[in-house]
């Protein structure tokens, strides 16, 4: 499942899934080292054990930031 790291408050991270389902709240310690707000993360749960793996998708994060930047530029150029 892909999620976006939206905020961090009191060592609790708020993750917003792409699937538009409810937000996910996890302890900061569950996030990968170097993770920052705005990063796109991949969450996978193993079927054998209840262990959850979280990894940063750097290329996806970069792609989304670029798409948002282009969208903002188009909106700024649009005449009202």
Q: How do the domains of the chain map onto residue ranges?
A: 2-77
Q: What is the pLDDT of residues 58-79, one digit of tens each?
A: 999 999 999 999 999 999 988 6
d(CA 62, CA 56): 11
> What element of type H or E holds 72?
helix 58-77
Which pLDDT band, with edges at 50, 70 and 90, does 80 fall under? low
Alpha-carbon dihedral sign for residues 63, 71, 73, 38:
negative
When pLDDT is averaged across residues 2-8 and rounded to a whole number, the result is: 96
List phi, psi (to 5°) of 12.
Answer: -115, 125
Q: Residue 7 forms beta bridges with which residues? A: 14
For residue 70, the model assigns a pLDDT of 93
CATH architecture of the domain with range 2-77: Beta Barrel (2.40)
- Cα distance between residue 45 and residue 33, in whole Å: 19
């Amino acid at each position: 499942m892909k999620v976006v790291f939206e905020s961090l408050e009191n060592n609790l991270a708020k993750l917003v899934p792409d699937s538009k389902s409810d937000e996910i709240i996890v302890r900061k310690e569950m996030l990968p080292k170097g993770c920052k707000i705005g990063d796109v993360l991949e969450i996978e749960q193993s079927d054998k054990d209840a262990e959850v793996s979280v990894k940063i998708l750097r290329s996806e994060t970069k792609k989304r930031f670029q798409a948002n930047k282009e969208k903002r530029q188009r909106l700024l150029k649009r005449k009202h």
